Amino acid sequence: MGFGAIPLAELIGACREETAKFLRREPFRDAYCFELVRRAISDRDQAAWDAVFAQYRGIVLAWVRQHPARATTREDDDYWLNRTFERFWQAVGPERIAAFAGLAAILGYLKLCCHSVLLDEVRAQGALRFEPFPDHEGATGGEDVEAAAIGELSGRDLWGVISAELHDESERLVAHLCLVLGLKPREVYERHRERFADVADVYRVKRNLLDRLQRSPDIRRFLR
């Protein structure tokens, strides 16, 4: 039976189990969750969309509550939860769902949508002024650059800007796993030993990428 023929109730249950494995950093199969999201987005299946919302509601709420911009907004958490899913629905669309490699990519983009709606509101209120990246010589370290890249860029544009700066598959993995999903270099190495010589190799790729992002005119353009 192909994934497209799996009954919705069975698909929802399988997606729930695989998502739990993913969050525990255990081996998982993301085809069930991808099919659930595909039905919701491409087929405009309302029941599938309701299941996606229910499945990832708690994750998005955690992102909202942890976001540094949350304290400057007046709306409650459920408002930002709904705005995040609305942004995701509008930004992805049926024609773009195939571009996502799997569950990690989908959740990464959902997280960027959460950043986007909160920061758009803060900027609209003029409640937060963003400083540009420091000069390379005065930077306090790669982690500060990473925080700026993730915390201060509009989520809907961030991945496109970063993608334009990537040179190879190793950088694509580090950008996605470290900058979007927040994994540590050691975790990246454990997942992709075939790609990196050792943990230091992941640190090297990440440091070089962050240095390049720091110098990028396109990224500076998004900073206030």
Boundary residue ending a domain (51, 78, 101): 101
For residue 68, the enclosing domain spans: 3-101
Could you read off the pLDDT of 62-114 as tens digits, one per residue? 888 887 677 777 788 899 999 999 989 988 878 788 878 788 888 888 888 88
pTM (two decimals): 0.57
Q: Looking at per-residue confidence, does 220 or 54 come out higher?
A: 54
Q: Give me the residue label for tokens 């976001």.
A: 67
Could you read off the pLDDT of 187-210 as tens digits, one per residue? 999 999 999 999 999 999 988 887
Same domain? 67 vs 155? no
Q: Confirm whether 106 is domain-assigned.
A: no
b (16+ CB within 10 A) / e for 3-13: eeebeeeebbe
Smallest CA-to-CA distance from 207 within 126, 161, 144, 113 is with 144
185, 178 in Cβ contact below 8 A?
Answer: yes
pLDDT over 90 (residue 146): no
- What pLDDT was estimated at residue 127? 40
Same domain? 90 vs 15? yes
Q: Confirm whether 129 is domain-assigned.
A: no
Q: How far apart are CA 155 and CA 149, in angstroms?
A: 10
Q: Confirm whether 118 is domain-assigned.
A: no
Q: Confirm whether 124 is domain-assigned.
A: no
pLDDT over 90 (residue 183): no
Number of domains in the chain: 2
b (16+ CB within 10 A) / e for 142-156: beebbebbbebbebb
